[in-house]
């Protein structure tokens, strides 16, 4: 899994655990880009909730695309020694949830992402700056609504 695809949030003191989590979150974003996920966003929830540190949200353009993205992310995470605590929605392809404890990944079908609107729920939470994000994968499906 690539881990050099984004910059960390500026002016934030980081423990070794935080640095590792940032690298994992960046790696997951890079995996979604490799498979052409749209509008991938990493929401930093450290210190805001007790159940996770980061939520990653990405969009697939079809049910098969959502499934392929979820399987690839899960495969890469397992290969790096991180097993899922649970998964949901892999069969339907409308919304896949991958829970790794400190990182939760939501991969939505383009129609479902607007319905759930997780970014609005966490509108006050900072976003991880993804400097290497491919511009062509952002701004789709009213990307402004997704914080892209």
Number of domains making up the chain: 1
* Boundaries of domain holding 46: 37-128
User: Is 12 inside any structural domain?
Assistant: no
CATH of the domain at 105: 3.30.460.10
Average pLDDT, the chain: 86
User: Is 96 inside any structural domain?
Assistant: yes
Confidence band of 116 (pLDDT split at 50, 70, 90) = confident
User: Is 99 inside any structural domain?
Assistant: yes
DSSP per-residue string spanning 48-76: T-SS-SEEEEEEESSHHHHHHHHHHHHHH
Per-residue pLDDT reduced to its tens digit, 69-91:
999 999 999 999 999 999 998 88
Q: What's the length of the chain?
A: 148
Per-residue pLDDT reduced to its tens digit, 42-65:
999 999 999 999 999 999 999 999
Per-residue pLDDT reduced to its tens digit, 7-18:
334 444 568 778
């Amino acid at each position: 899994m690539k881990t050099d695809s984004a910059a960390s949030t500026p002016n934030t003191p980081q423990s070794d655990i935080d640095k590792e989590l940032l690298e994992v979150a960046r790696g997951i974003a890079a995996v979604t880009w490799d498979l052409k996920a749209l509008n991938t966003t990493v929401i930093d929830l450290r210190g805001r909730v007790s159940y996770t540190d980061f939520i990653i949200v990405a969009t697939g353009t079809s049910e098969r695309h959502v499934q392929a993205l979820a399987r690839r992310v899960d495969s890469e995470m397992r290969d790096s020694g991180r097993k899922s605590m649970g998964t949901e929605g892999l069969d339907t392809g409308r919304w896949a949830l991958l829970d790794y404890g400190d990182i939760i990944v939501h991969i939505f079908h383009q129609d479902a992402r607007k319905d759930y609107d997780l970014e609005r729920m966490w509108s006050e939470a900072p976003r991880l700056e993804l400097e290497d994000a491919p511009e062509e994968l952002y701004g789709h499906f009213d990307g402004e609504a997704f914080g892209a």
